[in-house]
Amino acid sequence: MKPRMRSVWCWLVVSLLSLAGAPSGWACATCFGRSDSALAEGMNMGILFLLGVILTVLAALGGFFIYLARRAAAIRAAVSESHPSV
């Protein structure tokens, strides 16, 4: 193994062991039990914001498909009026 690669693996192992040994590194403030902290409130607001973004995108996508369906129905009605045999 190259010396540089050995040092990278050494730092990786040391980092993982230090995180595994510290209870504060196991969880955020919400999961660790301090649900009244500013970090927990900010995380909740972030979750709500992202949920709002997802719902907005889904609503826009649904509205677009409703628009396409109405337009197709209008074109189909216009064609059937001009050509009754179709």
- The SS3 of residue 36 is coil
pLDDT (mean) for 70-76: 95
> What are 22-52's pLDDT values in tens digits?
666 566 655 666 667 787 788 889 999 999 9
> How far apart, in Å, are the Cα atoms of 6 and each of 9, 17, 48, 72?
5, 17, 44, 65
Residue 44 and residue 24 share a domain: no
Domain of 10?
Answer: 1-32
pLDDT tier at 82, thresholds 50, 70, 90:
confident
Residue 47 and residue 28 share a domain: no
Distance separating alpha carbons of residues 8 and 3, to the nearest angstrom: 9
The per-residue pLDDT for 83 is 80
The per-residue pLDDT for 56 is 98
Which residue did the predictor score with more confidence, 69 or 22?
69
Closest by Cα among 11, 33, 15 to 24 = 33
Model pTM above 0.85: no
Number of domain units in the chain: 2
Residue 49 and residue 65 share a domain: yes
